[in-house]
Amino acid sequence: MATETTRRAFLRSVAAASAGSLAAARFAQAAGPSIVAGSFAGVWVDGLKAGVIPCYKRKTGGDVELVVGTPTDFVQKVMATRDRPAIDAMIGTDADVFQNAQLGIIEKLQPAKVPNAAGILPIFREPYEGWAFGFDGGRDGVTYNANKVKNPPKSWIEFTERVAKGEFGRAVLYPHLTATDGLAITWLINRELGGSLNDPSPVIKRLREMKPYITKFWTSNAEPGTALTSGEVDIAAWTDGRTFGVQAAGNKHIQFALPAPGSPMLTICFMKVKNGSDGGWEYLNCASDAKNQALWNQFFPGYYMTHQNNDYPPASREKQDPTSLDRSFKNWIQVPWKELSRLRPQWMEAWTREIGA
Amino acid sequence: MPALLLTPLLVFLLTFFVLPFGVMLVESLYLSPLQSPAGSAMTFANYAKAFGDAFYLRVLLQTVALGVAVTALALVLGYPVAYFLARTRSRRRHVLLFLVISPLVVSIVIRSYGWMVLLGRAGTVNTLLVALGLAERPLPLMYNWFGVIVALTHVLLPFMILTLASVIEGIPESLEDTAAVLGAGWWSRFRHVILPLSMEGVGAGVTLVFMLTIGSFVSILLLGGSDTLVLPLLIYQQISLLNNNFAAALGMLLLVLSLALLYAQARVFRVRGAA
């Protein structure tokens, strides 16, 4: 009888558990849509989980599955699954926005579905012609080992001249043109050298002179950090945010300098994938909320955010450029991303032919 | 019955090897959506670009040269180890075997970072060289062909050694003993007995290591520099630019190179067998 009682108790508990999980499953089905969103690796995930994703969960009851990768990875996945895309909302650089629009894989933002985007500063909305909004960005400059480089370059032209003369030895990193930072910096240097969008020859000629002293053209944003901290290179064209991360890890001798006339503006943007779940709109709405941006920013001190009502966390505020705090962004140089994106293949051909890297 | 047993393998190869290459071949005959937004007709433009441009031909030559360099080094370094492994009666043979395959136990990314620690400007090798007075200043051992060749030889040496060892094991030791008794020194025994009888192993090892070298990517990406551009890296660059169609054409080039080598190996050993 004791055995029979135990068996009945067991069967009752199994039935209760089954009913409970069925109810949970039904609740999950009744909750909002779960979506798939693209993210960069590492701390980017933490940043999104701090504010944007909880916001989405609160508003829809659904969940967000993050796919970690690069903008190219996201585009490749979406292009391979156009009718039922593998990703519903993705991130990318300014250059990627126009490229993705040309490929027909993103939708124009619908103000009614992304009302928070109206609070994004015009400088981070209007250039994208409705295809995306900017989320965050940093500065491109020169990161150097202060123990080896006592007098960092004061301008981009000076940087290129000193590298080409071999002043830093063969201990320099420069971004590859396939990296958007590389495209932006190369465009800026070309402009400073008197070139134009249709004529990249001045910067290509200068890069050819620099090439014997460039250890590597970096393609991954992590490479300069490794090379600088290991002592492999002494100076690199890189971003301020990543430099701050390297400094925070204890490498105080690695310093950042902003060469004149300043940094090209390079912003990470959020886009809604065409044919993706409608939940993607709410995700974008959460990403364009000032509070969620501030929550993200606590993981990226020094990166600017794009909402007009942004309140930077204290640790970030002290690293910000003054013109990001006053929201004028005057210290940044606007890149003609739409035209540059269209001309990128020609720039790449010139690079391949002349630089051969 | 034997044919039936092959069916699962053939289905697997057809589905995951032949068909994808078929798709890649078709892709290579069109322009990418960014190059031709309105769509593209079938064209050989991608192949014309790959063969008609000196830059891409240089990359192809660099790829082959890298394959030759790593294969030659693996053969020279691996043959003595393979011979020892095949002939030793030591109870510690399994320890040596483990040491031979140990590079394969660690992930290729970790292994490459390990080489960066060793070969860097402030790495172990340079620190020792400078400390011992063998170099005035750190030598450029990384971010160049030297670093790439060292790292690739390290990872591909086991393939050469194991292929050779299995063939040398099959050569009767009595043949060497007979040659020794007849007065042949070790070089004569190697040149006239061991080497000719191990040529099939040499062929197989050379083919395997060469094909693996020309398809290598991670080690070259991490340890290579501004000049070390090979086909796999170029394919990666093109995919980064969403130029999948040109990348497909370059991929077909790599496939043809590998198949040509396999064919050459098969022909050489068929001729040798007939002789």
* Whole-number pLDDT of residue A8: 56
* Whole-number pLDDT of residue A161: 98
Q: Is the pLDDT of residue B214 over 70?
A: yes
Q: What are phi and psi of A93, to 5 degrees?
A: -85, 175
Q: Is the pLDDT of residue A117 over 90?
A: yes
Cβ distance A75 to B242 less than 8 Å, yes or no, reads yes
The count of CB pairs under 8 A between chains A and B is: 67
Which whole number is the average pLDDT over A122-130? 94
Distance CA(A130)–CA(A113), nearest Å, equals 13
- Any B CB within 8 A of A147 CB: no
Confidence class of residue A318 from pLDDT cuts 50, 70 and 90? confident
B33 CA: distance to closest CA in chain A (Å): 7
Cβ distance A72 to B53 less than 8 Å, yes or no, reads no
Which helix (H) or strand (E) segment is A145 a member of? strand A140-145
Closest CA to B122 of A227, A174, A223, A216: A227
* Whole-number pLDDT of residue B267: 83
Residue type, B125: V
Which helix (H) or strand (E) segment is B241 a member of? none
Q: Is the pLDDT of residue B69 over 50?
A: yes
β partners of residue A35:
A64
* Whole-number pLDDT of residue A12: 56
The one-character DSSP state at A133 is E
pTM for this one? 0.85
- Residue bearing the bigger pLDDT, A42 or A253: A253
* Whole-number pLDDT of residue A30: 44
Confidence class of residue B94 from pLDDT cuts 50, 70 and 90? confident
Distance CA(A183)–CA(A276), nearest Å, equals 29
Q: Compute the mean pLDDT over every residue in chain A, rounded to the nearest whole number.
A: 90
Which whole number is the average pLDDT over A311-322? 88
Which whole number is the average pLDDT over A255-271? 95
Q: Per CATH, which fold does B53-274 belong to?
A: MetI-like fold (1.10.3720)
Tokens of A299: 């993981």
Which whole number is the average pLDDT over A226-242? 93
Cβ distance B34 to A178 less than 8 Å, yes or no, reads no
Indicate if ipTM > 0.85.
no
Number of CB atoms found within 10 A of residue A236's CB? 29
Q: Compute the mean pLDDT over every residue in chain B, rounded to the nearest whole number.
A: 91
Which whole number is the average pLDDT over A38-56? 94
Which whole number is the average pLDDT over A156-173? 97
Which whole number is the average pLDDT over B226-232? 91
- Any A CB within 8 A of B118 CB: no
* Whole-number pLDDT of residue B93: 84
The position carrying tokens 């993210």 is: A39
Q: Which of A26-30, A215-219, B142-146 has the lowest mean pLDDT?
A: A26-30
Q: Is the pLDDT of residue B274 over 60?
A: no
* Whole-number pLDDT of residue B2: 75
Tell whether the torsion through CA atoms of B96, B99, B104 and B105 is positive or negative: positive
* Whole-number pLDDT of residue B275: 55
Question: To the nearest whole percent, how much of chain B has pLDDT over 90?
Answer: 72
Cβ distance A356 to B37 less than 8 Å, yes or no, reads no
Chain B nearest-CA residue for A349:
B55
* Whole-number pLDDT of residue A220: 86
